[in-house]
Every structure is written in C-alpha cells, then in structure tokens.
Structure 1
Amino acid sequence: MKFKKKDSVKITLKDNSYEVLIGKDVLKKSNKKIFSTIKDAKKIFIISDTNIKKFHLNKILKNIPKNFVVKVLIIAPGEKEKNIKTINKALNFLLKNKISRNDAILAIGGGVVGDISGFLSSVALRGVQLIHFPTTLLAQVDSSIGGKTGVNSFYGKNLIGTFYQPNIVICDTTFLSTLPKRELISGYAEVIKYSIIYDKKFFTWLNKNVEKIINKNEREIIRLIKRSVEIKKQYIVKDEKDIKNKRAILNLGHTFAHSLEKSTNYSKNLLHGEAVSIGICMASKLSLILGFLSLNNYEKIKNIFLNFGLPIDLNFLKKFRISKNQIINNMIYDKKNLSGRLNFILCKDIGNAFVYNKIKRISVEKSIS
C-alpha cells in the first residue's frame, strides 16, 4: 500500500457514483472540489451533535463558501437518538427553513448522525443532496460508505431505512484527534472485520502494526481507512441495494452485535464497535462449531481483537445479565433473515466469509459465551 497524505476511492455505481476523500486537512485542501458536488444548492443544512459543536463546528463553518446560506441543527449524541421522533424533529426543521430539492444536507458526526442525515436526505422532498463528513473512525471506514440509512424501532436496530448515496464523503483524519480513545478503538472492530471477510494480507498487516495504529500514526491510519473503503466498495458495487445476498457479507458478526445492542437498550456501556467485536468472535465460534473454521484461525481472530483492546465475549457485559434466549430471540427481527430463516455470516478462513442459514438453535446457543 503506497502512502499518500491525501487519497481517494471512487465508488462507481450505475446511477450515483461518488468519491471518498481520505487524508489530513481534506476539508481545507479540497474545499472547492467538495462543494462543487452541490453547485446547484443555495442552502446547506448541517446536521450534527453536541460533541461536534463543542470541538469542530466553528472550524467547519469557516470552510464553507460564503455563497451558501447555512442552517444548523444540533442533536444529542448516542444511539438512543436514532429514532422516528428525532426524524420528525429534523424534518420540521428542514421544512420550516424552506429546504428545496437542490439544497444539501451536510452530515457532520459519527454513525448516528450519518444514518439520520442519510435517511432525512432520502425522504425530505423525496430526495435532496447529501455530503457525508464522518468524524469517527467507525463512520469513516463503514457507516458513511455505501448508502445505507436507517433509524431504530422498538423491534430492533436499523429496521426503518432506505438506500441513498451521498454526493461525496470526506474522511478527514484531523477530526479523529479529539475522539476519545475508547471510541477510536471501537472503530477498529469494523476495520478488522474487513480483513476477516476479504483480505488475509490486510489482517496480517493490522496485527503487525497494532502499536502504530493505536498510537494514531498518521500514515497507518490513512492506509487502513483507504483499504477498508476499498474492500467495502467491492461489495457495494456488486450489490448496491443488498438484494443479491452479496453485500450481506459486510455484516459479519452483526446479527449477534445488533441483538446485544438491543439487549442493553443501546446503552453507552456498549459501543457499536465493541458489539461488533463480540459478535464477530461469536460468529467465528459458530463457524468453528459447524466445522467451517479451524481452531487455529478462530484463536487468531479472537487474539487480534484482544490486541486492539476490544472485548471478545459476554464478560464485558456482566452487569446486564443477558441470557442466551434473549440474544437469540432478538435475532428474529434481523434484516438479513430471509423466508423466516436466520441468516448468519460465517468464515471458512481469514479472508473468506459466506452466508449460511442451515443452523440449529443449539449451535447458536453454544456460540454465545
């Protein structure tokens, strides 16, 4: 992987291709390019949260060209805000300020802000322009890429949503500097996931460079963001709207993870990346139980998460006293399920994942620990 301080990945789709810009100070260095993607807009509607307002909003506002009228909506941070109530509040804000179909929403924040903003962009006036400005590692490598939008319901996570691609995505590593260490480490779970489903060499590289990555080495952070986006691109291009069961591979561990998040009522004691880390370890154990994955590779998968300081089992959630039945029952509403069958993403090897649904409940129970 050749290092560049500023890089990009082109997401080439049939109708809505766009670029992902990656690097330090991208907002400042690529300002004209970014805002040229919404040249017909007169207004920019910023959706962000209180954390971004505190650390970054003023800097971002200074970099928005003066020809745009800017309106700002600040929401509370956290997964609990990702609901229809927040959507209604935001839609009223957009309509009250006379948004037009040429105008743009600028999503500045982590995965919650991005998911809400993407959904808003798709339903407001049946579609307005969208720029994603992810400020967490998890959002930069995963949730801002690919066009999935969504909010949570009583029955589970991201069950209400649309597919809606942005005009451009800006992954500016400058904004990772104020990210709490736990949030940053949480983002590595999605990075590790990409290596497990697609790229064994990337898995080895991540293991070799743990210390540099944890210490926020700029070169390594930009490399891992770019490689993660490149891998996700492979699945988006083949199955943009998740109808061919190919894009589902990107959800390795997420059947368990989403169930765990619901079981904890989307508590701040379990970040999404932490749930994904535990979920991937459970999915890997299920792969081992079913005879698809070797014990050696199962141990390697667990160890890489441990090396990055991520949880691997329910010991991390002792205070919640979550039962196996609760976890399995929550899976009934998982989006990947087809024709009443639970769909799991399993592993045959590091770098080789697949979809499988011929699984008995007892095997799932054994994988939960």
Structure 2
Amino acid sequence: MFERSVVVGDEPIPYYYGFGCADDLVNALAAELKNADAGLLIADRAVAPFAEDILGRLAESMTMHVYFLDAEERNKTLGAVQSVIDFAVDRRLTRDSFFLAMGGGLTGNIAGLAASLIYRGVRFAHLPTTSVAAFDSVLSLKQAVNLPRGKNLCGCYARPTAIACDLGWLTTAPRSGLVNGLAEMVKNVLIATPEHETLLLRSLSQLGEEAAPDALLSLMHIGIDAKEPLLRADPKERREALIFEYGHTAGHSIEFVSQGVICHGEAVAWGMLVAAEVSRSLGYLDEAEVAHHREIVAHLGLPDPRSRLGGLDFARLRQVLAADNKRGYVQCAPDEVPMVLLKGVAEPVLAVSGHPLVAVPLDTVMTALSTVAAL
C-alpha cells in the first residue's frame, strides 16, 4: 500500500492506495477514524462484494452498519440524502460516528452531503471504485446533488478525513467504462498538464493489458498532479480552480438530460468538444487546436455522437444550460451561460474578474452542440 498526502487549502488529506491491499486500507481507515463509536458504509449496490468485504473487516474492531443505494443519476437527490440520514439516526449513530462512501462519484456526493448535514457534520472517508472517482471527484471538497432544474444545484463543501482505494476495484469495470471515465484525465492534460499527454495516451492504451496496474498508477498521478496545486490555493474551486469545470457546462447538461444514460466521463468528453467548438466560433481556438481536442478525445473510444447526442431533447438541454451552477461568478445575461474556454492548451480565457469563465450566448452553445452531435 502507498500513501500520498493531497493538500487542499491548508490541510492534507491522506490518500491510501495500492493493489490487493484491503487489509492495509482497513487498518489505515481504523487509525484515521479512531475513537468512533460506530460507522456507516454507504455503498453502491453494484460493488456489494467489495463493500461486504470491507464491512466484514471493519466489523472485527468496531460497530458497523451498511446502506446500499442504486447509483443512478435519477437517484442523486435530496431525498436520497435524507434516506441515508434517516437510516443512520434509526440506528442511533451519533456525532462520534463516521460515514464511509464506497462507489463512484455519485455515491461519494450523496454520502458526503449526508455526512455534512447529520448533526451538523460527522467524519467521513471515500473508498472510490471507479476511475472518475479515484482520480478526480474524491479530490474535491464539493458535495452536491441534483434538483429538477439541473445538476449539482444543491450542496456544500466538506473535507473527507481520508481516501482509500484498492486500484484492483477499478479493473473489474468493463474497459469501455473504465476508459470513458478517464475523460477527466484528458481534461487535466488540456487545461493544466500538457506535459503529461504522452504518458496519458500510453496509459490509456495499456488498460486491459498486463501493464494495467502501472497504467492506473500513472493515471492517478496525472489526476492528483493536475488538481493539487490549484486546490491548495483555491480549495473551494471558486477562482483559478474553476478551470476544472472545463467541458462540464455542456457535459453536465448532457448527463442530466440523458438521465445518466450518458455517464459523467462520456458527457464531459462531449462537453470538451463542445467547448472547443465554442472557442473556435469566438475566435479563441483555430482549426488545428480543435482537431487536437478531437484526436485526444478519440483515444477514449467514445460511441458515435449521432447516436448518443442526436436523440437528446435539445430544448431541455437549453433549459438546463440556463440554470448552470456557475452563474454568479461572472456577469451573465439571461440568454448567456458561463463556460470555461481555452485559447490554447493550458491557457484559459480569463474574465475581467480573473475567473477562467466566459459568458457565452446560449445560441452559440447550442450551435456547438449540434456540430458535435453531427460529427
């Protein structure tokens, strides 16, 4: 097992990881969560075998309970958060108890928000089992769920006590799901660490082969190396770290309107192509830079965009875009949406306020969406 401290703001978060290291992870978690009177494991039902293994090991030394949820986009709601809290209260968990979130980013958000609300906050830790969670979402303090008008509109900031991941959990997903979940690493290369592009593409090509363990370790380092410097300076992602929203404006609307049929990683990949088209239309990127976006995203092996995006309700996409949760960082007219745009690799377009956001007419975004859907 390896350990790395990820500094977010002024405080480090210990990240324990390795392959086949469940015993070591449990020991590390037990040390981090010492003096707790009980624990609640909130787990995606799809990873029940892993969850039951961790639960059994922890139950040898402390009182443990488990709550399984169906990690589907339609279930990412305040109602799901309340169900977790009710379950915990019914089992007499206290302020000295802790929550563990085991699954992907959706599970982590529901559990993290529940942990921050019950008794005004209890300790919690992440056990990510997907690539997008292990390499990206668990590194953020943001915990949020959806509302009927859009994605991640209700949430808070909460710091996990620890993160623990057996990278072997990630290899049980189909290769297509694993690679699509790595769109966030493509994003990191485009916005922050272009020097990692060769390593990224080599690692993507090695997934599913004997070299997969080394590839996953490399991808983890790409994720942490890109995010940590900005999260150290901007832990709530309200200033320079907003750059990690690249691809997420259109991506979140695609994911939300598809009701999760298009997963987060795939949606962000399409969102980056939409952002590149918007940048080209506004004169920030040239044809070669847009082509570079398409080439690097192609390594994710996405399905045909006509079949994935062409059937979406574009009127609904426009409504969700209009409620994007970045509104307020920069001035936007009612018919505009704030977007992270690039004028070159690792060169965001900055607003007068210094935020890496641009107010873009909704018509321009919708035209870009149509262009990507027709590729």
What TM-score results when the alignment is normalised by the length of structure 1?
A: 0.91
- 8 Å contact kept, 1:135–1:176: yes
Task: Letter of the 2:345 partner, please give it.
Answer: I
Tell me which of 302, 314, 319 is aligned to 1:310.
302
Distance (Å, rounded) in 2 between the aligned partners of 1:69 and 1:357: 50
Q: One-letter code of the match for 1:299? A: A
Gaps of 5+ in 1: none
| Equivalences for residues 81-96 of structure 1 within 5 A | 81-96=75-90
Superposition pairs of residues 148-167 of structure 1, within 5 angstroms: 148-167=142-161
CA distance in structure 2 between the aligned counterparts of 1:361 and 1:160, rounded to whole angstroms: 23
Distance 1:301-1:312 versus aligned 2 partners, 3 A rule: farther
Q: Does 1:67 align with 2:67?
A: no
* 12, 31, 39: which one aligns with 1:36: 31
Q: Could you give the per-residue CA deviations for residues 127-156 of structure 1, whole angstroms, max 9, x where no partner exists?
A: 001010000111111111121111111011
1:300-338 Cα offsets, whole Å, 9 max, x none, are 1111111220258454233x3432x43233211111112
Counterpart residue number, 1:193: 187
User: CA contact under 8 A between 1:9 and 1:229: conserved in structure 2?
Assistant: no
Alpha-carbon shift at residue 356 of structure 1 (Å): 3.1
Q: Secondary structure at the match of 2:235?
A: coil
5 Å matches for 1:1-369? Answer: 6-14=2-10, 16-53=11-48, 55-64=49-58, 66-213=60-207, 215=209, 217-243=212-238, 245-264=239-258, 266-268=259-261, 270-311=262-303, 313-318=305-310, 320-323=311-314, 325-338=315-328, 339-341=331-333, 342-354=337-349, 355-368=356-369, 369=371
Comparing 330-339 and 204-213, the one that deviates more:
204-213
Offset, 1:230: 2.3
Q: State the one-letter code of the partner of 2:276.
A: S
Report the Cα distance in structure 2 between the residues aligned to 1:147 and 1:44, rounded to whole angstroms.
Answer: 21
Of 211-220 and 101-110, more deviation after overlay is shown by 211-220
Who is 2:353 aligned against? none
- In structure 2, give the amino acid aligned to 1:316: R
Asked if the contact 1:277/1:311 (under 8 Å) is kept, the reply is no
1:35 CA drift (Å): 1.8
8 Å CA contact retained: 1:6, 1:24:
no
Instruction: Quote the Cα distance in structure 1 between the aligned partners of 2:40 and 2:362.
Output: 47
- Larger deviation: 111-120 or 94-103? 94-103
Task: Measure, in 2, the Cα distance between the counterparts of 1:367 and 1:224.
Answer: 29
Q: Distance in 2 between matches of 1:228 and 1:313?
A: 26
CA contact (8 A) 1:26 1:170 kept: no
**2:298 counterpart letter in structure 1:** L
1:205 Cα offset (Å): 2.2
Structural RMSD (CA)? 2.0
Give the Å deviation of 1:196.
0.8
Cα distance 1:236–1:287, how it changes in 2: closer, same or farther (>3 A)?
same
Distance 1:312 1:294, change over 3 A: farther
CA contact (8 A) 2:234 2:240 kept: yes
Aligned residue pair count:
358
Provide, for residues 70-97 of structure 1, a one-character-per-residue CA deviation record: whole Å limited to 9, x for no partner: 0111112211111122112111111111
Going from structure 1 to structure 2, the CA distance change for 1:31 and 1:73 (only over 3 Å counts) comes to closer
The residue type equivalent to 1:187 in the other structure is: G
**Contact preservation (8 Å) 1:263, 1:322:** yes
- Percent identity reads 24
- Structure 1 letter corresponding to 2:324: D
TM (norm. structure 2) is: 0.89
Structure 1's 23 and 293: CA in aligned 2 closer, same or farther, altered over 3 A?
farther
Change (3 A) 1:227 1:210: closer
| Contact map agreement 1:278 1:314 (CA 8 A) in 2 | no
Alpha-carbon distance in structure 2 between the residues aligned to 1:69 and 1:39: 12
Q: C-alpha distance in 1, partners of 2:200/2:78? A: 38
C-alpha separation in 1, matches of 2:303 and 2:327? 26
Letter in 1 for 2:343: K
Contact 1:257–1:276 (Cα < 8 Å) also in 2 = yes
State the alpha-carbon separation in 1 of the partners of residues 120 and 263 from structure 2: 32
Tell me which amino acid in the other structure corresponds to 1:292.
Y
Q: Residue 40 of structure 2: SS of its match in structure 1? A: strand
The secondary structure found in structure 2 opposite 1:256 is helix
**SS across alignment from 1:334:** coil
